[in-house]
């Protein structure tokens, strides 16, 4: 591949998206659901419609085989390049609400049925049910029967351990009864375990379920790499766009962790709650607008919590639970890591201001060979 095929140019595969970061960039291969690192200097070349082999070889040298063998680019006759149009990154969905969370502590089955019926009207496709008190096997079946009669396509279950919740029983549910379940998470279990069964991820955890502790966490294990998520991220907020939730008190919120509510399920419909002007205030915030995140090469595969942020008065503030510093390409715990605060300054008026000289000095120390 190091000799340019005669009469041909190169193109980037349309399903590969580039995210330019401060220190390096990523190519997200949405077909294979993976990402690769590339130097920032190559981004302008890869973003061209077509380019010559020698343009990249000047940057990569013999390492150019890295992006060829990983199917990031391919050779093509120039006359056929128009047969590969750019990927449409506009995200669109017919749903008024795409996903929802309901937190259940003292279950009222009538309220639950009414809630799910409203989600059907809003064409909601995904639901997470978080149960915080032990329920009977019969009650669980009643909940799932409500879901089965709805148009909801996928369900995540978070539930405390009880004697009837054995691995065999859950697998039987998945095989014979409830194929809409995509995640089944059992907390306060007797042991830690995880399996993948018939398309469902099944987890047992000895720990407690603490939604406020897990909400807004950011690490590489939580990255999502696919076409839907990548296009969503470029257009809208990956966490709160078209999301509606009910907390344990029945309050209607964007997310159960949010402080602001828009009525209670007892006296307010979901459509009424959505009519409040503030309900959609986070929907159109993308990572390209967020402090620090806009300089991160991982931003379009990462979630974006707007609840746990560094400055509660700044709607574009960096997520407070992020432990990655894109200015030095280091995660917390890695050798040479320093927090983002050492790479610039925060002000209420301007947000995060990057200190380029300070970053250059840090990187010369961290990455010296």
Convert the pLDDT of each residue in 224-242 to its tens digit: 999 999 999 999 999 999 9
Residues 6+ apart with CB under 8 A from 118: 269, 270, 271
Provide long-range contacts, Cβ within 8 A and 24+ apart, for 41-49.
43/18, 46/12, 46/18, 46/72, 46/73, 47/12, 47/18, 49/11, 49/81
Of 6 and 12, the structure prediction assigns the larger pLDDT to 12
- C-alpha 30, offset from chain centre: 14
- Please name which of 163, 205, 154 lies closest in space to residue 181, comparing C-alpha atoms: 154
CB contact at 8 A, 21 and 297 = yes
Provide the whole-model pTM.
Answer: 0.88
Strand partners, 185: 158, 203
Question: Helix, strand, coil shares of the chain as percentages rounded to 5?
Answer: 30, 25, 45
**Residue 152 clears pLDDT 50, i.e. is over it:** yes
At residue 68, the 3 state secondary structure works out as helix
Determine the pLDDT at residue 102.
95
Query: How is 233-299 classified by DSSP, letter by letter?
Result: HHHS-TTTTTEEEE-TT-BEESSTT-S----BTTT--HHHHHTSGGGGTTTT--GGGSTTGGG-TTG
**175 vs 365: CA distance, rounded Å:** 55
Q: What's the distance, CA 273 to chain centroid? A: 25
Residue 120: pLDDT over 90: yes
135/105 Cα distance (integer angstroms): 10
At 182, is the secondary structure helix, strand, or coil? strand
Q: In this structure, what is the dihedral angle of CA atoms 260, 263, 265, 270, given to the nearest 10 degrees?
A: -90
Residue 181 and residue 198 in contact, taking contact as beta carbons nearer than 8 Å: no
Which segment of 10-19, 80-89, 317-326 scores lowest on mean pLDDT? 80-89
The contacts of residue 335 (CB under 8 Å, 6+ apart) are: none
Structure tokens at 321: 């639970």
351 beta partners? 347
**What three-state secondary structure class fits 361?**
helix
- Residue 87's pLDDT is 82
How far is CA 335 from each of CA 262, 332, 338, 365, 366, rounded to the nearest angstrom? 45, 8, 9, 11, 8
> What's the order of all strands across the beta sheet hosting 34-38?
16-20, 25-29, 34-38
User: Which residues are CB-contacts of 32 (< 8 A; sequence separation ≥ 6)?
Assistant: 71
- Convert the pLDDT of each residue in 15-67 to its tens digit: 999 999 999 999 999 999 999 999 999 899 999 999 887 887 777 665 677 78
Of 18-32, 72-86, 116-130, 288-302, where does mean pLDDT reach its minimum?
72-86
pLDDT band at 1 (very low <50, low <70, confident <90, very high): very low
- Averaged over 110-117, what is the pLDDT? 92
User: Is the CB of residue 149 less than 8 Å from the CB of residue 115?
Assistant: no
| Burial bucket for residue 68 (CB in 10 Å: 0-12, 13-18, 19+) | middle
């Amino acid at each position: 591949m190091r000799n340019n095929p005669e009469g041909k140019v190169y193109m980037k595969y349309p399903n590969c998206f580039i995210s330019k970061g401060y220190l390096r960039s990523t190519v997200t291969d949405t077909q294979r659901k993976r990402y690769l690192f590339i130097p920032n200097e190559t981004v302008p070349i890869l973003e061209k419609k077509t380019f010559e082999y020698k343009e990249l070889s000047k940057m990569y040298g013999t390492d150019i085989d890295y992006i060829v063998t990983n199917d990031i680019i391919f050779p093509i006759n120039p006359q056929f390049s128009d047969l590969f149009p750019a990927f449409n990154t506009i995200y669109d969905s017919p749903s008024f609400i795409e996903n929802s969370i309901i937190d259940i502590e003292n279950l009222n089955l009538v309220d639950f049925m009414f809630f799910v019926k409203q989600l059907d009207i809003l064409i909601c496709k995904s639901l997470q049910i978080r149960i915080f008190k032990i329920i009977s096997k019969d009650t669980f079946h009643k909940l799932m029967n409500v879901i089965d009669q709805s148009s909801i396509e996928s369900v995540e279950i978070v539930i405390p351990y009880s004697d009837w919740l054995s691995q065999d029983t859950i697998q039987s549910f998945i095989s014979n009864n409830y194929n809409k379940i995509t995640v089944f998470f059992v907390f306060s279990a007797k042991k830690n375990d995880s399996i993948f069964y018939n398309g469902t991820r099944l987890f047992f955890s000895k720990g407690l379920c603490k939604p406020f502790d897990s909400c807004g966490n950011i690490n590489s294990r939580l990255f999502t790499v696919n076409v839907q998520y990548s296009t969503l991220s470029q257009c809208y907020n990956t966490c709160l766009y078209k999301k509606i939730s009910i907390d344990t008190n029945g309050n209607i919120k964007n997310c159960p962790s949010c402080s602001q509510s828009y009525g209670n399920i007892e006296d307010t419909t979901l459509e009424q709650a959505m009519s409040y002007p503030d309900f959609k205030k986070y929907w159109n915030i993308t990572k390209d607008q967020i402090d620090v995140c806009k300089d991160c090469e991982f931003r379009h595969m990462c979630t974006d919590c707007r609840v746990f942020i560094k400055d509660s008065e700044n709607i574009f503030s960096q997520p407070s639970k992020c432990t990655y510093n894109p200015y030095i390409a280091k995660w917390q715990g890695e050798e040479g890591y320093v927090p983002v605060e050492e790479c610039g300054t925060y002000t209420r008026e301007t947000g995060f201001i990057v200190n380029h000289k300070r970053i250059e000095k840090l990187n010369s120390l961290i990455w010296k060979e």
